[in-house]
Structure 1
């Protein structure tokens, strides 16, 4: 019974594997999945699925036969192909070194949050880096008391609350941050704020510098992105009220001039104290919520129309006059492709991407089967850190027994030797201001080596990458073997070409055609001048020579269908109308001789067509040879399943 069960298991496994094989060619096989992947990339629009699949099956099997022939010749070992494949690999591999699902989650989260601005109050309790245990306890109690009171109804007496707790426990700080939005604050704070409900208080967040508490007091639809220009009438340091009033009078005067037609950009150059923008007409870079202080933003976001100008208004910096240049609202369609692309680019440049990287690092540890070799203890590994740092003599380090021992292994049996660990320690000497512990060094070492191993073996773990590399490599091999067996052979085999021409002469005749001169001119006026000169009998080569390179001319025999404006011909000697290109250049034609249809092409005239046909003939002959060498057998059962 045991043997019967084993036999059935093997049989069913073999049957299942074969069921996924769509066709074989010689000793090789192509799976249904591989074929479908290629077919769907080139899928034609048709209502006859079976006909379409069978036609593509013919093309794809021929492709695999040619690649197999190239493989037999070991064309993949050619230096240029190896270089091209490795170069392509280095270009595309970064696209596969991330968790796409985690990335999509981050993009969706950011896109959702981008539609809402949040008004937040910020409270902090600083903790000195050299704080004693007693001071640390006071800071903790201050944060706890602050949180408790903020949750209760304080009637907005925040300054009084902070002052009382500072006097009782430890220094507290408070500020009205104003409205914030996605990407305008650290991601850790953004998460807390966007997960805190309106009028609620976040729990104290402990950091290296103390405790942080946020209270959400308002929400609004995102204001989008704004482009403005400003005039700044700056307050000098410690300006008194009289000074500020004088500055206001100056701002009012300039505002009056603007109302009577003074150009805003000119006013910025003359009157604005903002030395970063006055020479550019006062224009600021495009911005959104959270870029400037709340007084400034509230006024700007209240401007209704482009080109509207505010009256002078005050901030702590001085008096401002602002002109609205443009406003871009946040898209309401969260599936808008350009919006999502912009959000993704911001995610990639933001610290939040580290959460995706951390997840990816953990995932590949599981995928690769990474583990520390059990016979090597942490104590042994970490002891090497101090000894190497104290004595970085490479000769002595190279003699240590651990050099040849495996310290990390992967599920395929690959090992990382101790020599790599010693090399890593040597290259990462401690920085006095922020030395890494042995454990931290080991963590960096393992991450680096797991990622390096994963990259080298990515084809094992990522089918999409495997197929992309296979497709590129096979494409290069196909080009090389087609060049050898078909393209070069056809173009250089003059005897074969002439033989093919003579055997198929009837296929190489002219349709209605003409000998023509084609003139290409740099613009309309040059073309008009050239046409006038030609019509007045000036030789075409003289016209071209005197054009200073603004006219190019060519001659030849063309079928009328190949020429623009062929329907305007009346007789030889006529000129066509002008044909203007998108780049402004203009062409026209002079018809020298006209020929009727079905005139025989000479071998020279037909050579390009003959080469193309001869290549097709050679290719078909070669495919027949390949099909005999590597017989193609279709699994009809699997093919029928594809039609369902």
Structure 2
């Protein structure tokens, strides 16, 4: 661990215990509470042989020293240094996004997704479009058709028959209203919720989307079969193909099937004939297939293959003719503690519309803690002003009372004017699918939500205690490092006269114990270590060139080391030309070994240059102790023994 990391660790705080906020000690006019101290103590997990009282008191001494130094850094306004603020802002940018979701909500969604992934539901669908056959929106007519379908379902009429009669889904002509099996993430979240909340044989209430009403029926359920590994030959139907071409494709599909039955290998045929060029390049192998990814006809044929290597008969979909070969099945993951699968579910949740639940939590917090006020309630004026600016049209009379600086919204102490609104609306007023402009009310609501989201992110410290603590701890850690650099480390390294005097005064403390001139090879893994070991053993003089060849995986350090520092020397006596065998570090699987140039089996005096690193360390201790005494005079420390007693329990 480098010096900066060590002192940052001392300065940082950790997990919070349930402790009443009481002042543990004061330092000058400043206070440090017990909860803050315990957070730091528990993160560093300081413990002296299981003696809590001893470990708390030892850590408290270090903690007080750290507090005094950080306070002095604030007094000197080091917190305004550009270098400090740049590091803090860089960290904020790196970690803020991870705090923009509510862990409790994400956890609930993960649990729900896992449970739903354990079964498939066979679904039928009726779609009632808002647009009539002429392409005009007619929501009243859609409501009337929806109500008629519901009435006839209540009277016991067959769902699939009604789908064929009423559904505006173009696929109904092929699937008769049955869309096949689905699983979690197959359909939009609002559809999935309706379906998974409906018993077998029952129908859902109508689900409204942007384009119409959807009614689903649960036709049956099964345990999830997992994912299928399969190969495909696709003979795609060209656009506008006539009957002659279609018959030729059908005949080719039959011919290929007969060749497969006769023993031809699937892969070469797929590579030669399949129009699915991505899978064809891989001998027809497709990515793992989950339920609900493909056409129901495709999936019925796929999951109808009951053994590995089985080949389907040719079948037709809207894409063309298909022949499938089952390669294998990856069983569904049923272990809720499978970390890899839980991570996969979380990633899908974050990319799915269900993440909106976490955003709703953010909006709620902003409204409750900061307060949200819409200060311009005249939508007629706002619409007129917006239309004029966004469409580059003459200003309408209703919008003339407004200006770019007119305040529209306030969140907490922040205000947002018409220029903010126009900047957003100019970019986001159109639907992403290219079907035209969104309704004015929708764009306005999305802007308010976007503004609340950005406010939350900008003021994350006010909403999330863990984030607030982490940022404060990082800033204090950097201040600690900066002031130590100024007061101790730089001074100790640059004051050559003081270092020389300290060395002369304590020469007897700066000696070589039993030592050796060695090169130590630090390797990324045991395999590399053995390779380097063998090469160096065969050619010791070429050790540097060997290390350079493997520079990305090996670090070679040539220096004088005491015997106790040489890896795997154990109780052996080193001698020139000796090599120690690789020593594996079990914590990270790295490995190290040494080649010995010369051995010194007696205690020797270190020269000043040889002892300089040790002298600097000793001088740093002296400087730091002197400085700490001055800080304690400037910020007298008073410990509340009663509170300390409670902490020690």
Alignment TM-score > 0.5, same fold: yes
CA 1:415–1:143: 2 relative to 1, 3 Å: closer
d(CA) in 1 for partners of 2:392 and 2:253?
A: 67
The answer to whether the 8 Å contact 2:160/2:177 transfers is no
Larger Rg: 1
Within 5 Å, give how 1:441-456 maps onto structure 2: 441-456=443-458
3-state DSSP class of the match of 1:257? Answer: coil
The answer to whether the 8 Å contact 2:519/2:556 transfers is yes
Residue 363 of structure 1: CA displacement?
3.0
d(CA) in 1 for partners of 2:517 and 2:507?
A: 22
Given candidates 512, 515, 518, the residue that maps to 2:517 is 515
Residue 530 of structure 1: CA displacement?
5.7
Q: What is the match of residue 82 of structure 2?
A: 79
Q: What is the match of residue 64 of structure 2?
A: 61
Residue 47 of structure 1: CA displacement?
3.4
The answer to whether the 8 Å contact 1:512/1:559 transfers is yes
Matched, 1:253 2:256: no
d(CA) in 2 for partners of 1:60 and 1:337?
A: 37
Q: Could you give the per-residue CA deviations for residues 552-609 of structure 1, whole angstroms, max 9, x where no partner exists? A: 987543212222343585674442255388999996524423323x433332222212
Within 5 Å, give how 1:2-151 maps onto structure 2: 20-44=22-46, 47-128=50-131, 139-151=142-154
d(CA) in 2 for partners of 1:459 and 1:303?
A: 56
d(CA) in 2 for partners of 1:424 and 1:234?
A: 44
Matched, 1:560 2:563: yes
3-state DSSP class of the match of 2:516? Answer: strand
3-state DSSP class of the match of 1:345? Answer: helix
TM-score norm. by structure 1 comes to: 0.80
77-86 vs 172-181, which moves further: 172-181
Q: What is the match of residue 192 of structure 2?
A: 190
Residue 118 of structure 1: CA displacement?
0.7
Number of equivalent positions: 606
Given candidates 592, 611, 624, the residue that maps to 1:619 is 624
CA 1:133–1:525: 2 relative to 1, 3 Å: closer
3-state DSSP class of the match of 2:53? Answer: helix
Q: What is the match of residue 357 of structure 1?
A: 359
CA 1:518–1:423: 2 relative to 1, 3 Å: closer
Within 5 Å, give how 1:118-267 maps onto structure 2: 118-128=121-131, 139-151=142-154, 158-159=160-161, 161-162=162-163, 174-232=176-234, 238=243, 244=250, 247-258=253-264, 262=265, 264-267=266-269
Residue 364 of structure 1: CA displacement?
1.1
Residue 304 of structure 1: CA displacement?
6.2
Given candidates 625, 634, 643, the residue that maps to 1:638 is 643
Within 5 Å, give how 1:577-588 maps onto structure 2: 578-579=581-582
3-state DSSP class of the match of 2:353? Answer: coil
Matched, 1:385 2:390: no
Q: What is the match of residue 482 of structure 1?
A: 484
The answer to whether the 8 Å contact 1:384/1:422 transfers is no
3-state DSSP class of the match of 1:223? Answer: coil
Q: What is the match of residue 8 of structure 2?
A: none
The answer to whether the 8 Å contact 1:331/1:339 transfers is yes
Residue 399 of structure 1: CA displacement?
10
Q: What is the match of residue 473 of structure 1?
A: 475
Q: Could you give the per-residue CA deviations for residues 367-396 of structure 1, whole angstroms, max 9, x where no partner exists? A: 21121348x7555545533554576799x9
Q: Give the root-mean-square deviation of aligned CA atoms.
A: 4.3
The answer to whether the 8 Å contact 1:388/1:425 transfers is no
Structure 1, unpaired ranges of 5+: 1-16, 535-539
117-126 vs 241-250, which moves further: 241-250
The answer to whether the 8 Å contact 1:19/1:638 transfers is no
3-state DSSP class of the match of 2:501? Answer: helix
d(CA) in 2 for partners of 1:513 and 1:420?
A: 70
Q: Could you give the per-residue CA deviations for residues 326-372 of structure 1, whole angstroms, max 9, x where no partner exists? A: x4333322233222211110011112223432342243122211213
d(CA) in 2 for partners of 1:348 and 1:389?
A: 33
Q: Could you give the per-residue CA deviations for residues 102-124 of structure 1, whole angstroms, max 9, x where no partner exists? A: 33332222222111111111122
Q: What is the match of residue 315 of structure 1?
A: 315
The answer to whether the 8 Å contact 1:230/1:323 transfers is no
TM-score norm. by structure 2 comes to: 0.80
Within 5 Å, give how 1:271-286 maps onto structure 2: 271-286=273-288
The answer to whether the 8 Å contact 2:160/2:178 transfers is no
Q: Could you give the per-residue CA deviations for residues 54-112 of structure 1, whole angstroms, max 9, x where no partner exists? A: 22222222111111111111111111112222222222222233333333332222222
Structure 2, unpaired ranges of 5+: 1-18
Matched, 1:601 2:603: no
